Amino acid sequence: MISILGKSNIAKRATNEDRFVADSNWGIALVADGMGGPESGEVAASIVATQITDLLDEGRPLTEAVHSAHQEVLRGAEDNRGKKGMGSTVVVAHFTDNQFELAWIGDSRAYLWDGELRQITRDHSKIEAMISRGEINYSDAIKSPQKNIINRAMGHGEFSQDDVPLLKSALFHGQKLLLCSDGLHDAVAACDIARILSTQLSSEQQLASLIAKALENGGTDNITVVLVESDTIAQENEESPILPAVSIARVDGYMEHFPA
């Protein structure tokens, strides 16, 4: 069985434009970070969360659900459910027992904790593209004022179902899958996230600690975190498929980023 818990905090914003789904029965863990200002951003994120959840519940493939939600945000801007220009990021994991598929658009992230913290989603962002082209190094990138400029979003531009990145893996006892909006990963260093996930605190307490750390560090954006754990014991010679790491962080302060 898996356990999925989520928590969100408005921080210093006027409204909370983040939305999350944390449903162990459906096997859905999702974080959507709305853009477009008060009302519009929360509308876009709500459309994304609802549409993806409904389509997964109907048995539709994950990438199709994400792409359909993108189109639904575009329609929502046209039929006055929100405002033109509204959009959202999304990162979503869909579980069948302890097996999962993971998809994302934008810079909401997924991390896998397994004694070290592995970032397994690569941001659709201007800075990530610059790093990959060798135009800026990672240590300068995390301090750049351009670090929150994303180059792909739900409800913005055009992309196909085939453009939605998809990862497949499994989660075993002792591992954790963490999904979060940039309100967390902008405010809390990856090594500090690793330290909190390494504690013996309950999942609920770890969620609270992650948000408290972001607020302590002066985080101003909405902070949303979803944490997934599994009680499935790996059998002999059974382990999770190794997912490519975008970055690795450890409790001793070691941190490395791997460009595409």
pLDDT of 105 = 98
pLDDT of 141 = 85
Whole-model pTM: value is: 0.96
pLDDT above 70 coverage of the chain, percent? 99
For residues 88-106, give the mean pLDDT: 98
Q: Indicate the range of 23-27, 127-131, 228-232 predicted with least confidence.
A: 127-131
pLDDT of 240 = 67
pLDDT of 241 = 74
Whether the CB-CB separation of 152 and 90 falls below 8 Å is answered with: no
| Residue 126 main-chain phi, psi, to 5 deg | -60, -40
Predicted confidence (pLDDT) per residue in 98-113, tens digit: 999 999 999 999 999 9
CB under 8 Å to 71, separation ≥6 — which residues? Answer: none
Predicted confidence (pLDDT) per residue in 164-222, tens digit: 999 999 999 999 999 999 999 999 999 999 999 999 999 999 999 999 999 999 999 99
Q: Where are the beta strands (DSSP E) in the chain?
A: 2-9, 18-23, 28-35, 87-88, 90-96, 99-105, 109-113, 117-119, 166-170, 176-180, 223-230, 247-249, 255-257
pLDDT of 80 = 87
The DSSP string of 160-223 is -GGGS-EEEEE--TT-EEEEE-HHHHTTS-HHHHHHHHTSS--HHHHHHHHHHHHHHTT--S-E
Where do the domains of the chain lie? 2-257
Predicted confidence (pLDDT) per residue in 135-162, tens digit: 998 888 888 888 889 999 999 999 999 9
Q: What is the mean pLDDT of the chain?
A: 95
Predicted confidence (pLDDT) per residue in 28-62, tens digit: 999 999 998 767 999 999 999 999 999 999 999 99
pLDDT of 217 = 98
pLDDT of 60 = 98
* 130: three-class secondary structure by DSSP: helix
What CATH fold (topology level) applies to the domain 2-257?
Phosphatase 2c; domain 1 (3.60.40)
Residue 237 binned pLDDT confidence (cut-offs 50, 70, 90): confident
Beta bridge partners of 166: 103
Residue 254 binned pLDDT confidence (cut-offs 50, 70, 90): very high
For residues 231-237, give the mean pLDDT: 85
